[in-house]
Structure 1
Amino acid sequence: MPPPPRRPPRLRPQEPGPARTPPRAPRPPGSLRAPHGGARAGRGGRRRPPRRTRGAHRGRPGARAARLPAGRLPHAGHRGFWTGHDDRFLYMLMEFVPGGELFSYLRNRGRFSSNTGLFYAAEIVCAIEYLHSRDIVYRDLKPENILLDRDGHVKLTDFGFAKKLVDKTWTLCGTPEYLAPEVIQSKGHGRAVDWWALGILIFEMLSGFPPFFDDNAFGIYQKILAGKIDFPRHLEFSVKDLIRKLLVTDRTRRLGNMKNGAEDVKQHRWFRVVDWGAVPERKLKPPIVPKLCSEDDTSNFEAYPENDWTSAPPVSQKELDVFKNF
């Protein structure tokens, strides 16, 4: 199998400049392929979902760490058991989630059926609702950051961009295709960005590609700000209506960010068959159950070369002090 197409890289946290125009993200090393890998790929001309650059955090002790209660998410959090560091790296002992990334299943299938997308969207809605109840904004929702446990239920992972906040934050970070307009325009953003990302995710799960894509990040930003959504013909009316209401530029009118919060999302007609009381209890039947040969089977994860860490130099004592209690 050829390597999956890559997307423009995630934006690392940075303070926005005074300009209000969309920032241009750097191209990754080598040639940057179109988000769909150029021409159509897969059986019957079906487009593969594009592979964004993985947000692997080897954990250089110069970056800012987010100490968040990810391990206490009631049903969908990727638990952490231990953390430590030396003068070169941060170390995190995490729960083993053997099912692999949702992205891998989406890429292999091309797109999900409405019922399959509905299941994953419902569990993610509950996870977002819980995080927001703890004043935490996630800020990096995408198929690559959704793992499946051995039973097929979702686990959110990679809380490197998550932040505890009460009002707004101005840090520019995230994955280009999933950035909300207010992030691109440096207007300050809050919990509403997670509901925008949910709209992008639902579209991508059911279509096989995101609603806003281009050959480079700057082109993606322009399309996000233009806000034009071209829906595939096979999408039903109710899910298109939900996506439109999540991808509203005016965050005060964005579903999930209004007076009733997540309840507005849960009560949408697309979710009418969902028993919301059963979702946090993991009582809904998962549409995909990972195939496992043993307790420590890692076959559901792709292999990635890891040879960039051997030459990493030690950091200064001043930088180490930031992680004194890590």
Structure 2
Amino acid sequence: MATTKAKAGLNNEGSPYRETNVSRTEASSPALSAGGAAPLSVANNSRTYSLDDFDTVATVGTGTFGRVFLVKDKKTRGFFALKAMKIPDVIRLKQEQHVHNEKEVLTEVNHPFLITLFWTHHDERFLYMLMDYVPGGELFSYLRSRGRFSNSTGIFYSAEIVCAIEYLHSKEIVYRDLKPENILLDGEGHIRLTDFGFAKKLSDRTWTLCGTPEYLAPEVIQSKGHGRAVDWWALGVLIFEMLAGYPPFFDDNPFGIYQKILAGKLEFPRHLDFYVKDLIKKFLVIDRARRLGNMKNGAEDVKKHRWFKSVDWEAVPNRRLKPPIIPKVSHEGDTSNFDTYPEDEWKKDTPVPPKDLEIFKNF
């Protein structure tokens, strides 16, 4: 049983798809992304889209100020995820920088385990991001239905995530929002990281308090300035949650969670493999200078850990490992792996005044 999690809309920097203080099982779905197709980034996509190119099929995710639609391209009959964000709410919740960060990061990345951004646009009411649609649903749904994953299943997902984090860090990008809700499965069962609202290009360190309480590294809570090490801490939390069925630090309120994180006391369930316990301990080190993944050899140290001894690291980014879970997907536009949402009168919003639109003129 996955434990209820409080959500952080912290320091006015809540994510577009995060609610404050709702349980994880009720939390809104993040922006979605595609199955199988090779990623194509904005930078190398020659086609210019318009909203008229698409028919809306269904809503597949909702959040504080956004909604994700499954849309069908009228020309190619292909499916995409269209994330629409209400500009007045983005401004009210002081999310302008996060929205720009998300676009900047996604425009720069091109990797088989990351969502792909094809096009951005805005009108007088909404910001739009066109991304690939990933029909398999969230890893969180599979974890919740199974209770916990086997050791070998945990190794598969962790290996693909290690490659995704290594790639982001090679581009000086810190992801900052690793958790089961932000990991989608494509039609074949491989991962795609989604929801880059907290991702940031790092010149040095950053001080923003953002993320989900259970996954925050100590240096984020203590406002010491943080960098890439936070993603390795979050991977330690994620591996623990995948194999135990609950996160290592949890409480009824965020401040109780923070206290437990800073105390750093780990209690492992008895069934956990010896090597995975060792790996988790090396990720959940308070001193980030000694945290696995954040030392001189970076991700190479992670890959060489004994828990991953069965992994062919050359095969991982080529999607040659056999996925342990194959989602039930009947066709490219299948929405059955996502929750259903009422198609309400969401679009009836007043236009934003021109001075507010200035902030998004390059979006």
Q: What is the aligned partner in structure 2 of residue 45 from structure 1?
A: none
The answer on 1:8 being equivalent to 2:36 is no
Residue from 126, 130, 136 that aligns with 2:163 = 126
Give the distance between the partners of 2:133 and 2:259, measured in 1 at CA. 39
Amino acid at match of 1:78: I
Asked whether the equivalents of residues 8 and 20 of structure 2 are also in contact (C-alpha less than 8 Å), the reply is: no
Question: What pairs up with 1:71-90 in 2 under 5 angstroms?
Answer: 72-90=109-127
Question: What pairs up with 1:153-302 in 2 under 5 angstroms?
Answer: 153-302=190-339
Q: Deviations over 1:241-276 (max 9, x none)?
A: 000000001000000000000011111100011000
Report the Cα offset of residue 84 of structure 1: 1.1
Give the distance between the partners of 1:219 and 1:199, measured in 2 at CA. 19
TM-score, normalised to structure 1's length?
A: 0.84
The answer on 1:116 being equivalent to 2:127 is no
Amino acid at match of 2:86: R
Asked whether the equivalents of residues 199 and 242 of structure 1 are also in contact (C-alpha less than 8 Å), the reply is: yes
Amino acid at match of 1:70: L
Structure 2: gaps spanning 5 or more residues: 14-18, 31-62, 67-84
Asked whether the equivalents of residues 160 and 317 of structure 2 are also in contact (C-alpha less than 8 Å), the reply is: yes
Report the Cα offset of residue 80 of structure 1: 1.5
Asked whether the equivalents of residues 6 and 53 of structure 1 are also in contact (C-alpha less than 8 Å), the reply is: no
Report the Cα offset of residue 90 of structure 1: 1.1
**Structure 1 or 2: more strand by fraction:** 2
Distance 1:212-1:89 versus aligned 2 partners, 3 A rule: same
Q: Deviations over 1:166-213 (max 9, x none)?
A: 210001110111000111111110000000000000000001110011
Q: What is the aligned partner in structure 1 of residue 51 from structure 2?
A: none
Q: Deviations over 1:76-121 (max 9, x none)?
A: 0111212111222211111011111000000010000000010000
Give the distance between the partners of 2:345 and 2:238, measured in 1 at CA. 31
Give the distance between the partners of 2:355 and 2:224, measured in 1 at CA. 32
Asked whether the equivalents of residues 212 and 223 of structure 1 are also in contact (C-alpha less than 8 Å), the reply is: yes
Give the distance between the partners of 1:265 and 1:14, measured in 2 at CA. 34
Distance 1:306-1:228 versus aligned 2 partners, 3 A rule: farther
Give the distance between the partners of 1:236 and 1:113, measured in 2 at CA. 10
Give the distance between the partners of 1:231 and 1:291, measured in 2 at CA. 33
Q: What is the aligned partner in structure 2 of residue 148 from structure 1?
A: 185
**Structure 1 or 2: more helix by fraction:** 2
Q: Percent identity?
A: 66
Question: Hey, which bits of structure 1, 4+ residues long, moved more than 6 A?
Answer: none
Structure 1: gaps spanning 5 or more residues: 16-25, 36-49
Give the distance between the partners of 2:175 and 2:28, measured in 1 at CA. 18
Amino acid at match of 1:283: R
Report the Cα offset of residue 229 of structure 1: 1.0
Amino acid at match of 2:264: G
Distance 1:226-1:311 versus aligned 2 partners, 3 A rule: farther
Give the distance between the partners of 2:274 and 2:351, measured in 1 at CA. 55
Q: What is the aligned partner in structure 1 of residue 132 from structure 2?
A: 95
Q: Deviations over 1:101-150 (max 9, x none)?
A: 00000001000000001000000000000000000000000000000011
Give the distance between the partners of 1:149 and 1:13, measured in 2 at CA. 33
Asked whether the equivalents of residues 178 and 235 of structure 2 are also in contact (C-alpha less than 8 Å), the reply is: yes
TM-score, normalised to structure 2's length?
A: 0.76
Amino acid at match of 1:125: V
The number of equivalent residue pairs is: 295
Asked whether the equivalents of residues 170 and 186 of structure 1 are also in contact (C-alpha less than 8 Å), the reply is: yes
Distance 1:184-1:313 versus aligned 2 partners, 3 A rule: farther
Distance 1:214-1:54 versus aligned 2 partners, 3 A rule: farther
Give the distance between the partners of 1:78 and 1:12, measured in 2 at CA. 25
Amino acid at match of 2:181: E
Amino acid at match of 2:120: T
Asked whether the equivalents of residues 27 and 216 of structure 1 are also in contact (C-alpha less than 8 Å), the reply is: no
Give the distance between the partners of 2:207 and 2:355, measured in 1 at CA. 25
Residue from 65, 70, 74 that aligns with 2:106 = 70
Give the distance between the partners of 2:3 and 2:197, measured in 1 at CA. 23
Q: Deviations over 1:20-45 (max 9, x none)?
A: xxxxxx963xxx66x7xxxxxxxxxx
